[in-house]
Amino acid sequence: MDRYWKNASGYNDPTLAKVIEKENSIEKAYKKARKKQVHDTIQEIKNILKDRDLELIGWIELKDIRTNKKYK
């Protein structure tokens, strides 16, 4: 662990650094899982179209209701 955040007194606080890094890793894991869900959803849409002899000719644009993030 290379980075240490400083506490209110200005001293390095390795415990705080560990907590912050753990929170960041949890958030990254959530974002990665959500991106996979979106990717899988788009693939399902494409497979449904293919099964019905249809072809997608434009972009699919989705919006996550929870985060307001847009996926293209």
Cα first-last separation, the chain: 36
pLDDT at 54: 96
Torsion, CA 32, CA 59, CA 70, CA 64, rounded to 10: -70
Can you list the residues of the chain whose pLDDT is less than 50? 1
Residue 3 lies in a domain: no
d(CA 59, CA 45): 12
For residue 64, the enclosing domain spans 12-71
Residue 27 lies in a domain: yes
Q: Are 72 and 64 in contact (CB under 8 A)?
A: no
pLDDT at 4: 63
pLDDT at 47: 97
pLDDT at 1: 46
Residue 2 has φ and ψ, to the nearest 5°, of -90, -30
Residue 1 lies in a domain: no
Residue 6 lies in a domain: no
Q: Tell me how many domains the chain contains.
A: 1
Closest Cα partner for 20 from 7, 36, 35? Answer: 7
